[in-house]
Every structure is written in structure tokens, then in C-alpha cells.
Amino acid sequence: MQIVLANPRGFCAGVTRAIEIVERALERFGAPVYVRHEIVHNKHVVDQLRSKGAVFVDELSEIPPGAMTIFSAHGVARSVEEEARERSLPTIDATCPLVTKVHFQGRHYVKAGRTVVLIGHPGHAEVIGTIGQIDAPIHLVSTQDDVMALPFDADTPIAYITQTTLSIDDTRTVITALHERFGNVVGPEVNDICYATQNRQTAVRELASISDLVLVVGARNSSNSMRLREIGTEMGVESHLIDDGSAIDPQWLENVGTVGITAGASAPDELVDSVIAALKQLRPATVSELDGVKETIQFRLPAALRRPATAQVPAAE
């Protein structure tokens, strides 16, 4: 059996930065460090950080007075930032810079007098944070039908922004529907969607074209991981989203000559390694990797973690 790895796969720069923020905060300020919501959508990553002293909470009210607080990579609403200030919690923001960019885009469009439409999934942490970062009504759409149901006249000036982890193809379809429904529409280019989402979707399409089975390593609450599996299925290849090698069903390998493996942007390499090891226990296999885009993007850490190690706990902003 051949095992072929997609390239790129796994951690993106935003996830790498978010995890490093928690690790450095633990080193700098000591345990416990409190994180509002999962820092990234991967149980393995969260459990590792928890073992080092990170405490994950749903609400700021669960955090003791004065405790170091970190906001997750998905971003938070301004109301959460204000609550932290009112409680005098020292905070570090691990929001992915590409998510912050969407917030800036939305505010820019509001100042320009446009009605803002957010293309995203209801209830997703990033969507909740984005809506809460823009001081104007934001209209959430996920499908073409949602666009048709928008309660605006055809000449309403519209601007769209997007959840960063969405499918490029699905986003393009919704954007097209906006242009068909309204005569004055602006927004970022489709290629302006998160580079990691685009690169991993392109890679999984290439992978599926040569595979009999596609395995996507990632969490079920990870939007970008779920979409990678959907793309494999749409291309007519049996595709499964798995947490690690222990989730493999040996029956999946019947009449399979090539297994393609990729990983969502919040899945660490060690989980991919566990899948390869599990497959090799079931069948003799060789491993190769596709050529792909080399990702060199790095994001700077927050200023509080770039200072010398003698720095004090940052004051609440």
C-alpha cells in the first residue's frame, strides 16, 4: 500500500502563534494561565496545554481576580474585552492576525456607509467574535438561499467579509449570489481568504485525485478540517475525519492501494505520525509526500511576550 501525504498540511502560522502564546505565558507568568475557550480546535493540543498548567474556561466569570487571561485564536467580541477590563484581568490576545484583518475590513466598510454581510457558519467562535467586533448590524449568510432572504433593496450598498476557515468554492458561490442580487457589492478577493485554508484545500484536491481513500486528521469542531473531508468526498473518494491513528477502521483499507493523508490547520504532526504508524501495522506500506506550496509566513507574538523574561504581568487594557 502507498501512503501519500498532502503538502501543506497541519499547523498554520496562526495556530502555531496561538499555542506559543500559551506556552510562553506559562513560562513567563507561571501556572495557572486561563484561556477563554479552546485556544485552537483540537483536543490533543488543548490537553497538552492543560497538562502544562493552562486552564480552559467558557466565560470570564470563571477566572479568578487578577489571573492571566488569554483570548483564543478565533477572536472575541468587544464585550468580552470590556468585561476583562472591568474585572481588571491582565489579558493577552491570541487572535489570529488574519481574523483581526477581517475585523478591520468590516469596520472599514461600516465607516464607508455600507451594509455588512458576513459569510460564515452560525455559532462558530470566529463568527461570534467577528460580529462582536463591529459596531453595526452584521448580517450572517451561509448559502445562496440566505442571500436571497436578506431584507434589503437591490440598490443597497453591500460589503461582504468572510470567516477565514470557509471553503473557497462555497464562498465564491455566495459572493456570486450577492452580486446577482445587489447592484453595488464590494469585498475582499476570494484569494484574500486565509492562505492556510486555501493551500490545504488545493492540496487535498490534488491528494484525492490520486488516492483510493483520504484520511483527514483533525477535530470534528474544526471547520477547516471538516471541509477537507467534504472536498475528498465531493471528488468521489471515500474520506474520513479522524482524531488520530486509533480511529482507523481496518475495513476502510479493503481494495485500497493508495491512502492519502492530510491534516487540518490545528492538527499537530504527531497525530499524522500516529495515523501512518497505525496504517503500517495493518498493511505493509511506503510513504511519500506531494510537492506543494511551501508556507513561510510567521506572525509576531504580542508585545507582552516579546519583552525580557523579567517583565511583570501586563496590566489589564
CA–CA separation, 261 and 287 (whole Å): 10
pLDDT at position 311? 45
| Domain end (from 160, 192, 224) | 192
What pLDDT sits at residue 309? 57
DSSP letter string, the chain: -EEEE-SS-S--HHHHHHHHHHHHHHHHH-S-EEEES-SSS-HHHHHHHHHTTEEEESSGGGSPTT--EEE-TT---HHHHHHHHHTT--EEE---HHHHHHHHHHHHHHHTTPEEEEES-TT-HHHHHHHTTSSS-EEEE-SHHHHHT----TTS-EEEEE-TTS-HHHHHHHHHHHHHH-SSEE---GGGS-HHHHHHHHHHHHHHTT-SEEEEES-TT-HHHHHHHHHHHHTT-EEEEESSGGG--GGGGTT-SEEEEEE-TT--HHHHHHHHHHHHHHS--EEEE---PPP----PPPHHHHS-TTPPPPPP-
Domain count, the chain: 3
> What is the residue range of 68's domain?
13-96+299-306
Same domain? 238 vs 160: no
Q: What is the pLDDT of residue 316?
A: 54
**What CATH number is associated with residue 173?**
3.40.1010.20
8 Å CB contact between 6 and 203: yes
pLDDT in tens, 212-240: 999 999 999 998 999 999 999 999 999 99
Structure confidence at residue 314 (pLDDT): 57
Query: What's the confidence (pLDDT) of residue 166?
Result: 86
- The CATH number of whichever domain residue 61 belongs to comes to 3.40.50.11270
Low-confidence ranges of the chain (pLDDT < 70): 308-317
pLDDT of 192: 73
In tens, the pLDDT along 182-212 reads 999 999 887 777 899 999 999 999 999 999 9
Q: Is 261 within the bounds of a domain?
A: yes
Q: Which residues are catalytic?
A: 126
* Residue 317 covered by a domain: no
The residue among 173, 192, 211 that closes a domain is 192
**Are 26 and 86 contained in the same domain?**
yes
